[in-house]
Amino acid sequence: MKTRGALLWEPGTNSGWTVEEIEVDPPKRREITVELAASGVCHSDQHLDDGVIPLPWSPVLGGHEGAGVVTEVGDEIHDLEVGDHVVLSFLPSCGRCRMCVSGRSNMCDLGNGVLGGTAPDGTHRVHARGKGVGCMSYLGTFAPYATVPVDAAVKIPQDIPLDKAALIGCGVPTGWGSSVYAADMQLGDTVVVVGIGGVGINAVQGAVHKGARNIIAIDPVGFKQEQAQEFGATHAVGSYEDAAPIVEQLTNGQGADRVIITVGVATGDVLQPAQEMTRRGGVMVLTSAAPVMQRDMEFDLFTFAMSGKRLQGSLYGTTNSRNDIPLMAELYRNGDLKLDELITRRYSLDDINQAFADMQAGANLRGLIVY
């Protein structure tokens, strides 16, 4: 079908998105087509444009945080039908590989190919100007229709508003799960969240859920500090330097139990101040994307080993999409998870470059493209 989508023709060059006509193919075996209600604007798509995540192919249809209604199903699909409401998971889960069956579906074998530039079978579902288009995370939610692997779609109840549900595709589980699962947070913990964007604000929500006693949010933007407190942070400051005396005072000088890093880009200087703020035996969680080729970083390895600290990477918040996406939808329905308040601004697809500019300026918790 002909529709419009936001493409990068020269990824990694900061040239911005062009919104133009695209052709979206019908579903093949084990695929579905979804009419999207909305797509969140996540920093990981920005990384395709600025080169933090380099792509050796083009063009790319961006967007990996969406939800919508199934309009067509391909062969061999028994668990979804036309009319079902789904959240799209930016990492597919086959349900059969070793990682899936051992409760680590964020690391499903299928996920290895999400930045490969084609559908899992090596062909394209989207075309523009006569060329095959790769889709971010097999999804490409910067278009009102997407043909995606059924393994990347998770059914949710029909009464959950789809525009809000879109955020459960990436930012909400990634942030919430970074606290709840990756950090293995405990009741009464003192927690620092560094970077209050669409991901970090949900790490604050996760810390609230786990019963953290003190939640210190760090973000240089005043609006983010205010929002963090609305979402349950007990303290909000602009820098590691400003947070240090607060953490010291709250913990009798021991340091924070958990420090979760959700800044826009994980530069090499982001970990050492986090380590200095972490107590002996405490956990640092790194959720942010770093420039893929970055190898150098500042990190005191002696103290790291001799104080028994842990550094934990966090992919998709270590969530299992088939369990956690419906869980989050239900938490929202029960009033235990904020989604409405995450959406600072709504945009039309044509204003996508403005949405990214606003994200870069720190103006949004999450921007949402609405179809």
Ligand X SMILES: NC(=O)c1ccc[n+]([C@@H]2O[C@H](COP(=O)([O-])OP(=O)(O)OC[C@H]3O[C@@H](n4cnc5c(N)ncnc54)[C@H](O)[C@@H]3O)[C@@H](O)[C@H]2O)c1
Among 39, 44, 105, 141, binds ligand X (CB under 6 A): 44
Contacts of residue 303, Cβ cutoff 8 Å, sequence gap at least 6: 275, 309
Q: Does 235 bind ligand X (CB under 6 A)?
A: no
Binding at 274: pick from Zn ion, ligand X, none (beta carbon under 5-8 Å per type): none
Number of residues that bind ligand X (CB under 6 A): 31
Q: Does 328 bind Zn ion (CB under 5 A)?
A: no
For residue 252, the minimal CB distance to ligand X (Å) is 25
Q: Which of 3, 23, 235 is nearest to 226 (CA)?
A: 235
Binding at 263: pick from ligand X, Zn ion, none (beta carbon under 5-8 Å per type): ligand X
**Full 3-state SS string of the chain:** CEEEEEEECCCCCCCCCEEEEEEECCCCCCEEEEEEEEEEECHHHHHHHHCCCCCCCCCEECCCCEEEEEEEECCCCCCCCCCCEEEECCCCCCCCCHHHHCCCHHHCHHHHHCCCCCCCCCCCCEEECCEEEEEHHHCCCCCCEEEEEHHHEEECCCCCCHHHHHHHHCHHHHHHHHHHHHCCCCCCCEEEEECCCCCHHHHHHHHHHCCCCEEEEECCCHHHHHHHHHCCCCEEECCHHHHHHHHHHHCCCCCEEEEEECCCCCCCCCHHHHHHHEEEEEEEEECCCCCCCCCCCCCCHHHHHHCCCEEEECCHHHCCHHHHHHHHHHHHHCCCCCCHHHEEEEECHHHHHHHHHHHHCCCCCEEEEEC
Indicate the residue among 119 and 136 with the shorter CB distance to ligand X. 136
Indicate the residue among 162 and 244 with the shorter CB distance to Zn ion. 162
Q: Select the span of 148-156, 158-166, 285-293, 304-312 touching ligand X (CB under 6 A).
A: 285-293
Q: Which of 51, 6, 117, 92 is nearest to 289 (CA)?
A: 51
Among 145, 176, 316, 347, binds ligand X (CB under 6 A): 316
Q: Does 42 bind Zn ion (CB under 5 A)?
A: yes
For residue 370, the minimal CB distance to ligand X (Å) is 18
Binding at 108: pick from Zn ion, ligand X, none (beta carbon under 5-8 Å per type): Zn ion
Among 22, 70, 94, 135, binds Zn ion (CB under 5 A): 94
Among 6, 27, 34, 43, binds ligand X (CB under 6 A): 43
Q: Select the span of 16-24, 54-62, 100-108, 182-190 touching Zn ion (CB under 5 A).
A: 100-108
Q: Select the span of 43-51, 187-195, 261-269, 311-319 touching Zn ion (CB under 5 A).
A: 43-51
Indicate the residue among 128 and 183 with the shorter CB distance to ligand X. 183
Give the per-residue contact string, 347-366, with ligand X (x = CB under 6 A; - = no): ------------x--x----
Distance CA 107, CA 130 (A): 34
Residue nearest to ligand X (CB): 197
Give the per-residue contact string, 146-185, with Zn ion (x = CB under 5 A; - = no): ------------------------x---------------
Q: Does 370 bind ligand X (CB under 6 A)?
A: no
Q: Does 100 bind Zn ion (CB under 5 A)?
A: yes
Q: Does 220 bind ligand X (CB under 6 A)?
A: yes
> Would you tell me which residues interact with ligand X (CB under 6 A)?
42-44, 47, 170-171, 174, 194-200, 218-221, 224, 262-265, 287-289, 314-316, 359, 362
